Structure 1
């Protein structure tokens, strides 16, 4: 059924135009349009005046923030400044370079706004400002490629970007997907988006609303049809007579006046008659059909009436009425209603609603005219890149408008002019060619999208690609907030706040007094742990806090601080540093001997695997060796005016005897001898034997001055642990003995490197053999560390693996400095103690070198810090000439031997005061046991007064032989020489070896020394006595022949 009020032909033309406007079907045929000549305002665009670019070299994301929303913030900033936004991908097939920039009439403001907004939303992201000349080179490369502009193919991609139906944490629309898909291919991509101002957005919205209004009448048609019938019959008879007389006089006067005025205007333009014409003009501009009419009317009337009336009458009436009637009514009614819906119009109206909804978002977020252009040296690469990008950005609502790809191949007549537009970061303007059936004569190559959609189209890579690292980081504090900071507290600088991969000007300072409650520093190799400790030590030294560094590995610290004049360095190899000398049995006067024995046994338990009754046996042997040295253990006094302390060499002698007289079985005794005696004896041999001696380094040098103890050349981990433990014990006793009060301010710091050697994690369970001795010993050490803070002693405990340390070590440290740790168990172990959440824990494995998580217990939250680089190293310089030292040592030893053996020599020496004093000094610094050293020095000092020496008497030869054998290790010489049973060969080998210690030019002295050494060896090993007698007989014969 045709309706006269609407014309179907007009409606059809409107549909065609509406589809072009709403679905933008014209975008599929852009290559068939003619590129318009470049207008002046675009032709005048230059790099220097209008274009700026930044290269994105690193992207940093916060895990807890929505990346898309932050991109919207950035793009809104640019749009609010009325600028165009450009994004460039340039791939050489191996690496990708990513650029973001602007085109603006106010280029400096737009550039500053983009940079600050980017850094504000993505702190840590690195933007490299590209110079104008570099921008020009880049643009030239985009459009010429490896060959020439003529060979480049250009593909444009248009459409509405939309989110895919996936969870936010599964975002799959980042540009890394495009870059990975095109890996190995050379291509470039230019993304252009022109900001649309509010007036433009409002006009677009009004245009859609008008279009909706005009299409609505055509959406539905309703037809209603009805029918009704009725019939009636009536009969009646009336008779009547009426007589009437009337007289009437009437006078009437009337006056009337009227006036009417009218007007009508009409203007009509009949080009392209269409019900949508006004809407098209609002949306896109151009000529349209309009009609306008004006009608005006004016009326005026007046009336006047005058009248008189007189009436007289007589009336008489007679009436007779008779009625009869019949009524019959029949009726029927039928109604029909039919409703028609034009689905095409309905769909168009739905799309208009969706477009209006997009525009409402655009009013809040901004509106853009957007398109993307791919360029490559061959059509296939450009087309593949375009199709990958098209599929990447399409989502749930992308079908609202058509998505299209247009290809301008080499040789296309319009391509050069198109590139001229693009080189100025502008969309091309296109006009309809003849024969193209379109309602639109002028079009633009882009499509309208809001800022949320632009954030999808310009979706920065969410994962690293070749050339662009992408990092997700957890958030840390940006300032150090302390709970109970006092203004008078001392602080030291550690570095700067490091936030989202970027160093900030805010300083990170540590409270010095908090460091007295100890510090834990951890990090894998190469993470910057050592540099961090260098800074701590150096800054504390500026606060007059002295340091002791115990380093069991690498030996780096002496090359950093060792060259300073106020630093002492001790080592375990005399060729590289002065030798560390320490007696485990020595203790300060204020310490009870039994108290010291308890600590010493605990150190052995912590460093050696001890089981069953071993600790008890060792303790009994230690007590015996003190008693033999002259100590009353209960009263902690020595029987001599000057206390004498035993040594490990004496313990080696006593320990087998203690085991032998015990009630254990022979097998157990054998096991104990093989375990305990062997370990103790190993400490009296080699380089270590030169360390554990009675003539030790004073405590004041080790614990009250700046000192470095390098244990890196000790091969055995057990020996390293024992050395560290003994140093720790001596430090604790020194602090206790010299305490001046409680809760002293920090005055000394001890650095324990590779602390697991001493404070290793142990099992908390009890074994079949007895209690967990090692665990209890480590617990004792950790408790001692906690208690020592009251004396002003702080510890910096450093280790590469927190999981190897006893948990209490980490728990009892107030300051945590955590650097890169790849192992998950290590991260969990240390992270919980620094108030880190799960995301911050995972961040530990990704920390850059020199970046640390820092936390003190009175801070509100941990912070990331870029630790200052320590560049003030003063390497340790140590000159040691072994031959010269040996020569000097041999000369002094020769003098002492001549004095002690003077009665057995044929020649006499002048034992004047200077000579004797030199000998006293040498013996005083020797490694003789303390009591023997005192005896010898006392005898030598009396020599000047009495001219007699007890050792010159023949009856004291055994004492003389014992002293000489301890000054010169006779056992070593005999063991070297006794491989030959021939006395002549034996003597030759022995004298060659003895020449190392005594001047070989004095044969008589050498033989006298040799006799003492062989005698003492025969006394210790009776099996050697017969050989000694044979040697003596042989030497007597030799002398007789001479």
Structure 2
């Protein structure tokens, strides 16, 4: 920004641009005897006050400019640039103290000799309020926002100037009365007479329904005694004229109305954050979550998540458009930089074209030849029975079969090992072996027929060549598995598979990881599994019919996944689970992850994370890129975090 020529500068303005409005003010009832006699309990909140208390009092102003957006600026005159900066920060700090949640930016603005020439092109009106007791409090700012916000054919400004009345010679007490003048300034882009009349008609709205106890009404006038430069300087109270009225804060609502279209950040009443200096060595081994918000104000305190805590699992929930997917992608990108030896496996189970968020990952689609997940991995003899049982469990769940089939599948597996020393190469071979076992070991006549029919129906779903190639048992691990174990990042796309095939393949992946990973002693992240749109595989059943295949499949899947979450932690394997509607997911998916990042949520999703009615409501009103963070690993609950 170019420095102004000092000879061209008339004076300086200290300006505070408001960047976020405070939380709503709710007066509290306090008994009279609870307040000392020399203090007054504030049952209103107002910026009609004298922040510096100079003698004589200075003039202060607030300027609201609307066009495509709205800008709110407090200002006062200063003699030098340095004084403008100092006054601005002092005033802003005082405003933040009076208005919880308010924040702004201080600027020193030079008012130059050509400012008057530029401003003289604008039209100026004054709203003259009646003197004395006003029947109803004047909501001039709220009226202005309602009248002009979203009007695009002109720029309109509301300028309110005030100055404390000087202390009288007879009284030693400081006056509580304020001189007040209200101006409206506009610049029409087009000189259409109809548009001008429309605008002046709206101006008339500012004088309507405002009257004092003797019936004198507010009115609109062209100020003959004031120049644009006088307004910038604040010298509009120098002449003894009738336009300068005296008011107390109770007369005019000098607060930020609910309809102010500026950010208003929520505040958590029972947060328990520990503020500590975050050293560089800690940052190098942690992922930045966002910027902390304290008492509704964005701070400079950044929140980080230690990478070695990720085996305790991370859940990210939020409505579409709230910032969930963007946060997940940025989180993973930073992890790949700070922990290059951690293998990340993204299971894309729902949406197509999600690979754009994972540019440097090796991408394998279900239709590709290298998409290969053996349905069983040969292990040492001492753990063989355990892995055979786990395989029987996930196959039974994936096919939506009742528990009786789990024993049948397991016995069939044991039979194959006793006869051949291994399981069939192709998955359909195992299923046909199960069918043979059932024929050779029948249940009662009626039950046998039902069991065989149900099993044949499920078997037909997986009798596809592609399914057999994907699940084929091989002597060596698939290349992508070896790459992942060695720290490579893999994106597996299952978005185009059917529901039952998808569930079978995902379960095969989980079992494969269960088999090839080992317990580690130290708390360390070695591998990470990412599942976005988790409802595609982790959703509750839509029916309560215990004979329904979907019900059986999902009930069994809930048990399997709960065990995996616990078992993987000791192996340095973490989950990152993201979804829009956590209330539709298995309870374990919501309850077990220690770290939760919660973006905007509607009912009933908002009830899952807090018993407090205020917090539940806050979750429904979070702006985009704001999230509540519950860190079970440290026991901390943060105020909303601004996601970068």
With normalisation by structure 1, the TM-score equals 0.50
Comparing 674-683 with 118-127, which one deviates more in the overlay? 118-127
Matches within 5 A, 1:276-291: none
Q: CA deviation at 1:193?
A: 0.5
2:596 corresponding residue in structure 1: 816
Q: CA RMSD in A?
A: 4.5
Label 1:515 to 1:154 Cα distance change in 2 as closer, same or farther (>3 A).
closer
1:750 corresponding residue in structure 2: 529
1:591–1:733: 8 Å Cα contact kept in structure 2?
Answer: no
Deviation digits for residues 739-790 of structure 1, max 9, x if unmatched? 355x643333222333333333358978479996743541242133123312
Q: Which has the higher helix share?
A: 1
Query: Is 1:571 aligned with 2:365?
Result: yes
Comparing 664-673 with 790-799, which one deviates more in the overlay? 664-673
- Equivalents in 2 of 1:487, 1:154: separation in Å? 56
- Equivalents in 1 of 2:160, 2:578: separation in Å? 52
2:262 corresponding residue in structure 1: 469
Query: Is 1:598 aligned with 2:389?
Result: yes
2:17–2:71: 8 Å Cα contact kept in structure 1?
Answer: yes
Q: CA deviation at 1:545?
A: 3.5
Matches within 5 A, 1:304-315: none
Label 1:810 to 1:764 Cα distance change in 2 as closer, same or farther (>3 A).
farther
Matches within 5 A, 1:469-868: 469=262, 471=264, 473-475=266-268, 480-481=273-274, 491-499=286-294, 503-541=298-336, 542-543=338-339, 544-554=341-351, 558-561=355-358, 563=360, 568-574=362-368, 579-589=370-380, 592-610=383-401, 614-617=402-405, 619-621=407-409, 623-624=411-412, 626-628=414-416, 631-632=417-418, 643=422, 646-661=425-440, 663=442, 672=451, 675-695=454-474, 696-697=477-478, 700-735=482-517, 738-741=518-521, 744-762=523-541, 767=546, 774-821=554-601, 823-829=602-608, 831-832=609-610, 837-857=612-632, 858-868=634-644
Matches within 5 A, 1:104-123: 104-105=78-79, 108=84, 109-118=86-95, 121=99, 123=101
The one of 60, 71, 74 equivalent to 1:85 is 60
The one of 158, 164, 185 equivalent to 1:195 is 164
Secondary structure of the structure 1 residue equivalent to 2:259: coil
- Equivalents in 2 of 1:124, 1:683: separation in Å? 60
The one of 54, 66, 77 equivalent to 1:103 is 77
Query: Is 1:446 aligned with 2:244?
Result: yes
Label 1:607 to 1:124 Cα distance change in 2 as closer, same or farther (>3 A).
farther
Deviation digits for residues 271-297 of structure 1, max 9, x if unmatched? xxxxxxxxxxxxxxxxxxxxxxxxxxx
Matched residue count: 594
Q: CA deviation at 1:807?
A: 1.4
The one of 3, 6, 11 equivalent to 1:49 is 11
Label 1:47 to 1:487 Cα distance change in 2 as closer, same or farther (>3 A).
closer
Q: CA deviation at 1:175?
A: 2.4
Instruction: Give the unaligned 5+ runs of structure 1.
Output: 1-45, 166-171, 207-359, 392-397, 410-414, 431-441, 633-637, 869-1042
1:370 corresponding residue in structure 2: 180
2:39 corresponding residue in structure 1: none
With normalisation by structure 2, the TM-score equals 0.76
2:35 corresponding residue in structure 1: none
- Equivalents in 2 of 1:774, 1:702: separation in Å? 28
The one of 225, 230, 249 equivalent to 1:417 is 225
2:345–2:529: 8 Å Cα contact kept in structure 1?
Answer: yes
- Equivalents in 2 of 1:135, 1:531: separation in Å? 48
1:878 corresponding residue in structure 2: none
1:54–1:129: 8 Å Cα contact kept in structure 2?
Answer: yes
- Equivalents in 2 of 1:188, 1:487: separation in Å? 47
- Equivalents in 2 of 1:189, 1:96: separation in Å? 11
Deviation digits for residues 6-36 of structure 1, max 9, x if unmatched? xxxxxxxxxxxxxxxxxxxxxxxxxxxxxxx
Label 1:134 to 1:764 Cα distance change in 2 as closer, same or farther (>3 A).
farther
- Equivalents in 2 of 1:161, 1:806: separation in Å? 62
The one of 44, 60, 64 equivalent to 2:21 is 60
Larger Rg: 1
Q: CA deviation at 1:650?
A: 0.6
Label 1:88 to 1:552 Cα distance change in 2 as closer, same or farther (>3 A).
same
Secondary structure of the structure 2 residue equivalent to 1:863: coil
Q: CA deviation at 1:508?
A: 0.7
- Equivalents in 2 of 1:783, 1:173: separation in Å? 60
2:235 corresponding residue in structure 1: 426
Secondary structure of the structure 2 residue equivalent to 1:676: helix
Secondary structure of the structure 2 residue equivalent to 1:504: strand
Secondary structure of the structure 1 residue equivalent to 2:21: strand
1:83–1:104: 8 Å Cα contact kept in structure 2?
Answer: no
- Equivalents in 2 of 1:163, 1:693: separation in Å? 84
2:205 corresponding residue in structure 1: 384
1:55–1:130: 8 Å Cα contact kept in structure 2?
Answer: no
Label 1:591 to 1:761 Cα distance change in 2 as closer, same or farther (>3 A).
farther
